[in-house]
Structures are given as structure tokens and as C-alpha cells.
Amino acid sequence: MKHRELCSGKTIDWGKKLRRALTLDNLRVQSLQLRIKAMSSTTTESISEAQIPLTSGMTLQTLNYIVTVDLGGRNMTLIVDTGSDLTWVQCQPCKSCYNQEGPLYDPSVSSSYKTVFCNSSTCQDLVAATGNSGLCGGDNGVDKTTCDYVVSYGDGSYTRGNLGSESIQLGDTKVESFVFGCGRSNKGLFGGASGLMGLGRSSVSLVSQTLKNFNGVFSYCLPSLEDGASGSLSFGEDSSVYKNTTSVSYTPLVQNPQLSSFYVLNLTGASIGGVDLESSSFGGGILIDSGTVITRLPPSIYKAVKTEFLKQFSGFPSAPSYSILDTCFNLTSYEDVSIPTIKMIFQGNAELEVDVTGVFYFVKPDASLVCLALASLSYENDVGILGNYQQKNQRVIYDTKQEKLGIAGENCSF
């Protein structure tokens, strides 16, 4: 995974783009909370391994991480998202598509592409993944045979199209008959990516579809955003590809039927600079989501974090709030600053020590506006979300068969 500044002939107002990105990140979080509330009211041996380089999406004007895979013999660049299930790409012919880098996928020129029909069991699995099914119906007296889908995301983005199956190459492993969405009408904050890779837990996710190949295990290391920084997305149980500098500590994936498609952890504590924090909200569930940027905490936990952080990071001039970030500083007069460590503790005493690059969000390159990269949820009973900004330089291991998540420090490289 590499991060670079966008090279182009035109001048880009990054301040405006960053503010918009954080606003849309907040809308995604609000949408996840609504999905959670809506949901609450209603052994094979691993035979393959795969490792794929990832890059920062900044080059394609998105704050998420991206990976390039071979879909039916064509390279497609996908946003990596553990908070959604359906993998999709923009397809020809397209009714309404955003501008992407590279050509759209064209099923008509692929000998391995197959249509998924609306009366198939695969089509009915859409309910769990998207909340809507590709029901067989008709328009103007003409029967519909394709399995149509609609997926809406929290920031107002959406994709509409029909399901198909195709071969997908993940590292050295080729997976046949992979079910994905052929997007014919797509809009939103996907930057110039071809589409999205759904790594959630429903039956249509890539993780579920490759269970026989990788035994339900995948991991990633998200790098810092410095030039030349790189990371990886790995599938399978081969831990020899990890380059972790600390031992892996595991925490159980919380079993919650109402949140069955999400990865939920039990946040039992946190510390700032070695000082343990107290909050009645510790012991509650928190989602881990590669598609959310900034971590969101229940108000009482965030208040405890902010109070102790300001106590230890004192004497620095404050700066105005920026979007969802309300603990900001002007550090232009300082060459070096000592930053308190932030640790998150999960059930089983698994620890995530936030990398130094995940503590502050540099709104302005001259350091005149630098903010603590954490935000508060609106309500105490909202579900916390561990975003990708605080997951940098960590090996995060998802083991869906043993229902556990591993965390270890790692200087990401590929």
C-alpha cells in the first residue's frame, strides 16, 4: 500500500477536499448506526495462500485503501471495505457512471462471465448483503431474468446493477465463478476506483465465497501516508508473510445476530500515556471497519480520552475545531513534540497501540491546524467504530472460522 500526492496539471484545494471527506465519513458512520438499529429490530482445510500489494487511495482522490485484482483477465482497482459485503465494479454498458481511472469492465468480451438469474439461490442471498433482493418481476409486460441489486452507502453513494459471476485472481490463487455486482448506475465518493471489495461476513462477501480457498482468514497492514510507504492484503493462514514487530494478541469476535455481517469487538478499556481511563461504556461492542476513516467513540469514552490527552499534551496553543474533530492545536512554532501514547484494550487483554501517525490529523501541512484524530458519537448507545486511520502500521488478522481477531504492531511493507 503506497501513499502519494496526486500529480496532475490542475491545482487542487485539498483543504476543501479533506473537509468534504470528513463530512462524508461522518455520514457513513451515521448510516452504519441506522443499519445497526434496523438490523436490531429484525471445516475445510486451507489449501491456498495469497498476498496482494495495496496502495493508498489518495492517488485516486479517496481516503480509503485500494487493491488491484484481476477480474476476468482485466485489472480492476477496488476500495477495501470490511464494513460491506458485495464486491462490485462499474460495467459496460453503463447508464450512469462516475469517472474512474482505466476502462470499465465489459462482460460482453469475457468468455468466463456468466449471468446470475433472479430465481437462483445466489440471488436470494442478496437480502443479507444489501437489504434488498433481486426479485423476479417484469417491466411493461417483459419478464425480468437478471438478478438486480441496489447498495446504498452512508455518504450518499450508491451502486445499482445486476449480479454476475467471473474468475478473480487473488495473488497466485485463481477463484472461479466469483459472484460480484456489475454496476450500471453508480455515484459517490469512490474516487477513481473501479469499484469496491466487500470483505464483510454475509454469504456474498469475498471472505465467504473463498472459504474453501483461504479457510475464512485474511489480514492486512495499512501503512502510514508517507511517500513510498507500502502495505499488504493477505488471504489464508500463512503467518510467515507477516512482518510484525510485536507478538500477535487475539480478541474474540463478538457474536451478535443483529450485527452478523459486521466484525464486532469488545472494547474493555483504553489508556493515554500509560494512564488507564474510566468509563461506564467500556465493555461494549465496537465495529472494526476499514471503510471508515476516523475512529468514533461513545461520548463518555471520548470525553475521558480528550480530558486525559489535554492534561498530558498541555502548553500548546489551541486551534479551532475542524469538521468532526474538536481537539485541535497550532503547532507551527514547534519542530518536535512529545505525543502521549494511545492504547485500546479489548477482551482477552488484546492491545492496539495507535501508531504515532494515527494520533494527529494534519489538516494543514504547515501544522497550523493539527487535530486529535478521534471523534465522539452523538449518543451513548451508538456503536463505536475503529477506523482505518487508527489501524495504520498494525497487522490485523481476521479469523472467521475461529471467531477471533489478531492485532500486532508491524512496519508495513510489501
E strands, 282-335, are 284-288, 295-297, 318-319, 328-329
Q: How far is the C-alpha of 87 from the C-alpha of 71, rounded, in Å?
A: 11
Cα separations in angstroms, 391 against 38, 96, 115, 181, 224? 27, 34, 37, 28, 9
Cα angle for residues 71, 72, 73 (degrees, 5° grid):
90
Identify residue 369 by its one-letter amino acid code: L
Helix boundaries (H) for 70-112: none
13 is catalytic: no
- Other Cβ atoms within 10 Å of 275 Cβ, number: 14
From the candidates 81, 125, 148, 382, which is the catalytic residue?
Answer: 81
| Integer Cα distance of 355 and 268 in angstroms | 20
Position 406, amino acid: G
How many angstroms separate the Cα of 185 from the Cα of each of 97, 159, 195?
6, 6, 12
Q: Is 143 a catalytic residue?
A: no
- Asked if 155 contacts 27 with a C-beta cutoff of 8 angstroms, the reply is yes
SS (H, E, C) 339-401: CCCEEEEECCCEEEECCHHHCEEECCCCCCCEEECEEECCCCCCCEEECHHHCECEEEEEECC
Catalytic residue among 25, 125, 155, 289: 289
Query: How open is the CA angle 226-231-234, to the nearest 5 degrees?
Result: 165
Contact 40, 32 (CB under 8 A): no
DSSP annotation of 282: T
CB-neighbour burial class of residue 335 (10 A; exposed 0-12, middle 13-18, buried 19+) = exposed
List residues with catalytic annotation.
81, 289
